[in-house]
Amino acid sequence: MFRALTSDFITLHLINEDNLPEIFTLFQGFPDSAPMLKELMRNYLPRYERGQRTNFGFYSLLDGQLAGMTLLSVDSWEERSGSTGADVFEHMRGRGVTPRSKPHLFYLAFELLGLNRVATGCRVSNLASKRSIEKTRGFQFEGVMRESGLNDQGEFEDELLYAILRRDWEQLYSPAAVTVVP
């Protein structure tokens, strides 16, 4: 296994059970520390299926500054598909953290794990996420999942769906741009 992936002034540090105390300390002192730690515990911890890791959560550093978290989940090993998501600290938003982190996750998905497809999405009201996804080279809009879940107001809301395929990644990205830190 590896400890981190780095490229383009962003380093993604893999979240594991053994580095959680350090991460909890690192995440302290920000106005949004509590909700970010809640998200960490809910979505970014390692998960395993039949002894194989399926959830790769990372905390991200932009130029050495804590920026947020990003995630690659393997949805199906058989179908070689995964999905990605991200949460960025409020003070780091608008700096391109999420789209600049995606090449790292694509490298993990396609080069290291052998996946063929990585999907993502956002609620239609989340314009910042929509812009971030659309800035990420390779993601193609695939459709709308109608009333797929509840928003913060407790109302059903549609989700916009996007994905990138291995063949798109091979044309758009250089695997040499990402460095694996053992």
The tens digit of pLDDT for each residue in 63-81 reads 999 999 999 999 999 999 9
pLDDT at 177: 94
How far apart are alpha carbons 130 and 133 in whole angstroms? Answer: 5
Mean pLDDT across the chain, nearest whole number? 96
Number of Cβ atoms within 10 Å of the Cβ of 42: 8
pLDDT at 31: 97
How far apart are alpha carbons 89 and 108 in whole angstroms? Answer: 23
How far apart are alpha carbons 128 and 112 in whole angstroms? Answer: 29
How far apart are alpha carbons 173 and 137 in whole angstroms? Answer: 9
> Which residues, in sequence order, are CB contacts of 131 under 8 Å at separation 6+?
none
What is the tens place of the pLDDT at every residue in 119-135?
999 999 999 999 999 99
Q: What end-to-end distance do the CA atoms of the chain give, in Å?
A: 7
pTM for the structure as a whole: 0.94
Each domain of the chain, given as residue ranges in start order, spans 4-181
Q: Does domain 4-181 have CATH number 3.40.50.1860?
A: no
How far apart are alpha carbons 124 and 170 in whole angstroms? Answer: 29
Local confidence band at 152 (pLDDT 50, 70, 90 cut-offs): confident
Local confidence band at 151 (pLDDT 50, 70, 90 cut-offs): confident
Local confidence band at 44 (pLDDT 50, 70, 90 cut-offs): very high
